[in-house]
Amino acid sequence: MTDEPEIGAMKLGFIGTGALTAAIVSGLKSVADNSVSVLLSPRNEEIAAELAARYPDVRIADDNQAVLDQCDLVMLAVRPQIAHDVLPGLRFRREHHLISLIATLPREEIARLTAPAHQVTKALPMPMIAHRLGATIICPPDATVAALFGNLGKAIEVENSAEFNALSVVTATYASYFRYLDTINSWLKKNGVEEGKGRDYIASLFKALGSAPDMSPDADFMHLAQDYATRGGINEQVLRELTARNVFDALTESLDGVHRRILEIP
Ligand SMILES: NC(=O)c1ccc[n+]([C@@H]2O[C@H](COP(=O)([O-])OP(=O)(O)OC[C@H]3O[C@@H](n4cnc5c(N)ncnc54)[C@H](OP(=O)(O)O)[C@@H]3O)[C@@H](O)[C@H]2O)c1
């Protein structure tokens, strides 16, 4: 006997079939030996039809209630505004194990809207889950949900919502990351480098840098920065100049602002 949850045998329901549901289902179905059967709520019609046509064991329920009636494990994947309209009208059972993907609603609020469901777990997957990349934060720790998302990249379980909220601030930095890369690429173009070559070179280097923390698991990010900033070298120059212009302080201030927004502090 093992306590490991059996992911393969699961029947998984979704309330809300939008971009994130499509990404999760695509990720699940890209696992070679998966036999998770999926029941989707009918909206969005087009996305649901496309997923059901693509995968044989993905079906579309008649309505939201049918998803709840036929599945014990259900992901709530509607927008927050819709959640307040839709969830109170549905009949939940005590046995329901709900995974709320609704980023901005606290777990306690979802639990209140879905009573008497006995287990409500928050999870924050990202669209790259479709390719089984990236990590999903889960709160509170939950072996079934961690196994499910662990199969689709990495699952990071956290004990409390304060930690969950702080970690979720990280997801506000993607666009700036790409803008950083675009700044480098634009500079290359200005200096006569062909678009495709610059893009390939940057993407390849940053992919390698992305694996540095895995290759040096004991080094924190500051140590990695120091490793690359050889004294008197060109990395040290850029780091020193950006630091002097308060680029990193500005980033910290933005993170504070996003955190306040997530916590709804005016
Ligand atoms: N996308 C992300 O990167 C991301 C990341 C983390 C968390 N989240 C969270 O995940 C949730 C879903 O996000 P999303 O990007 O997948 O949003 P989305 O693409 O807008 O999907 C939500 C889906 O809910 C459907 N819907 C509307 N009314 C419904 C109802 N009464 N019953 C059932 N379904 C209904 C919509 O269908 P129609 O199109 O027919 O209106 C839509 O397809 C949100 O709460 C968001 O905060 C998203």
pLDDT tens digits, residue range 196-252? 999 999 999 999 999 999 999 999 999 999 999 999 999 999 999 999 999 999 999
Query: 238 and 191, same structural domain?
Result: yes
| C-alpha span between 167 and 262 (Å, rounded) | 11
Of 114, 147, 171, the position where a domain reaches its end is 171
Residue that is last in its domain, among 171, 206, 228: 171
Residue 1: pLDDT band by 50, 70, 90 thresholds? very low
Count of domains forming the chain: 2
CB 9 within 8 A of CB 147: no
pLDDT band with cut points at 50, 70 and 90 for residue 2: very low
Average pLDDT over residues 185-199: 96
The answer to whether residues 143 and 179 belong to one domain is: no
Would the CB of 19 count as within 6 Å of ligand 1?
A: yes
Is 125 a member of any domain?
A: yes
- Is residue 88 over pLDDT 90? yes
- The pair of three-digit structure tokens given for residue 115, joined into one six-digit string: 């009573």
Beta pairing class for 37-40 and 58-60? parallel
Answer yes or no: do 166 and 188 share one domain: no
Residue from 30, 81, 75, 37 nearest 59 by CA: 37
Instruction: Report which ligand 1 atom has the smallest distance to the Cα of 103.
Output: 47
Of 84, 81, 75, 100, the residue nearest 21 (C-alpha): 75
Residues 129 and 200 in one domain: no
pLDDT at 34: 73
- Please indicate, yes or no, if residue 1 is contained in any of the structural domains: no
pLDDT, residue 104, reads 87
Contact status, residue 18 vs residue 77, Cβ threshold 8 Å: yes
Structural domain includes residue 5:
no
Q: Residue 140: what residue type?
A: P
- E strand spans, the chain: 11-15, 37-40, 58-60, 73-76, 97-100, 119-124, 135-139, 154-157
Residues in the chain: 266
163 and 177 both lie in a single domain:
no
Within a domain: 158: yes
Instruction: List the residue whose alpha carbon is closest to atom 25 of ligand 1.
Output: 16
Identity at 234, one-letter amino acid code: I
Question: What distance in angstroms lies between residue 21's CA and the mean position of ligand 1's atoms?
Answer: 8
Same domain, 191 and 166: no
- Structural domain harbouring 114: 11-171
- Give the distance from CA 165 to its chain's centroid: 13
Within 10 A of 57 (CB to CB), how many other CB atoms are there? 13
Structural tokens at position 224: 């990695």
| 48 and 142 part of one domain | yes
- Say if residue 46 is in the same domain as residue 166: yes
Tokens 């939008």 sit on residue:
18
Q: Is residue 6 part of a domain?
A: no
The verdict on 98 and 167 lying in the same domain is: yes
Domain-embedded: residue 3: no
**Inter-helix orientation angle 174-190/195-210, to 10°:** 140
- Kindly report, residue by residue over 14-71, the tens digit of the pLDDT: 999 999 999 999 999 998 777 789 999 999 999 999 999 999 899 999 999 999 999 9
Q: Whose CA is nearest to atom 31 of ligand 1?
A: 86
Tens digits of residue pLDDT in 114-173: 999 999 999 999 999 999 999 999 999 999 999 999 999 999 999 999 999 999 999 999
